[in-house]
Every structure is written in structure tokens, then in C-alpha cells.
Amino acid sequence: MSGSPEPLRVWHTVVPPEWSDYNGHMSEGWYGVAFGDASDALLAHLGFGPAYRDAHGTFYTAETRIRFLREVHEGATISTDTWLLGADEKRLHVLHDLLAGDPPEPAATQESMMLHVAHGAAGTPRVAPMAEPVHSMALELAAVHASLPLPDYVGLGVRTLR
């Protein structure tokens, strides 16, 4: 893994027609799909795949917050810049910027907390420590990204009317 504090650029797609809503732009639910796919690409980058999942467990998204910044239209090429803001033995703190346009500019952001989950003896999911290589790859990437200043919106909830 590189020592560069650059974001990961491991996911991109072209917005298909079914992602457009009655306003003629990408519907809010599809942003969640795009960010979910970007998180899956991050996990694959960290060494997570079917063999790991069968032997050690999986990841659940426990919390997420999406900020919509500008419209994205059908046919647009979109990609994500991804940062691993933090990692410990059971959690990943992830930030994605969804980029669109030429030059690419942020159209949305997603911050999420992912939990590593294994199935207990009764088949009940429980939060559990990550195994190798995912654990060490996550710690290494989080350490590289720790040198970047956090955007001012990280860690905040939805705005209130008060």
C-alpha cells in the first residue's frame, strides 16, 4: 500500500437511466447504492472477498450520513474519492466524495461507520474483530489518511431547525 495521503479512487460508473427521478436527476436512493458500491470497492482493496467472508465474517454499515451538494444527471460519469478516517479491530470510519463533471467536482458526500460482524454459534450476528489481511490493511490505510485534515462536516449529524 502506498504511503501517499491521497484518497483511494477505486470505484466509478456511468449513471444509468433508471437512476433518474421525475426531476430529471439522480434520485436520492441511488446515491446510497453508489456509496454502497464504493464501500464494497474499499473493502475489496483491503483484502475482503468471498473467502474472507466465509472464514471470518463480513461488514455491516451501522450509521451513515449523506450530504447532497449538486444534481447529477443520467449519463454522467461518477466516481468516488474515498478516505479511511479511522480503523480499529472492529470498526471502519469511511468518507466518500461522489465526484461528477469535467473536471470532477463533489456532488455528494457520505460518511459511514462500518462494523465487522461474525456469526456466533447460534448463527446470530455479533460484532467481532477483523482478521488478516483486512485488519492490518485497514490500520495502514487509516494511518496514511490520518495526516489529512478532516473536513468541517465530519462527525456532524443532520441540522436541526432550532
Q: In the prediction, which pLDDT does 3 show?
A: 52
State the average pLDDT over residues 148-152: 90
DSSP output for 57-114: -EEEEEEEEEEE-S---TT-EEEEEEEEEEE-SSEEEEEEEEEETTTTEEEEEEEEEE
Name the β-bridge partners of 12.
79
Instruction: Judge whether 111 and 154 are in contact, CB under 8 Å.
Output: yes
To the nearest whole percent, how much of the chain has pLDDT over 90? 86
Q: What is the pLDDT of residues 23-67, one digit of tens each?
A: 889 999 999 999 999 999 999 999 999 999 999 999 999 999 999
Determine the 3-state secondary structure of 123 from DSSP: coil
Flag whether 84 is in a domain: yes
pLDDT digits (tens, 9 = 90+) for 69-89: 999 999 999 999 999 999 999
Report the DSSP beta bridge partners of residue 99. Answer: 79, 106
Check: CB of residue 27 under 8 Å from CB of residue 19: yes
Judge contact between 33 and 96, C-beta under 8 A: no
Please give the C-alpha separations between residue 2 and each of 91, 103, 105, 137, in angstroms, as whole numbers: 22, 25, 24, 11
CATH code, 43: 3.10.129.10
| Total tally of structural domains belonging to the chain | 1
Q: Is residue 70 part of a domain?
A: yes
The answer to whether residue 158 is domain-embedded is no
> pTM of the predicted model, to two decimals?
0.93
pLDDT of residue 130: 98
Whether residue 157 is contained in a domain is answered as no
In a domain, 132, yes or no: yes
Residue 101 has pLDDT above 70, yes or no: yes
* Pairing mode of beta strands 105-119, 91-100: antiparallel
Q: What is the mean pLDDT of residues 92-103?
A: 96
Expressed as residue numbers, the domain containing 104 is 12-145
Q: Taking all residues of the chain, what is their mean pLDDT, rounded to a whole number?
A: 94
In a domain? residue 56: yes
| pLDDT, position 123 | 82
φ and ψ of 131, to 5 deg: -110, 175
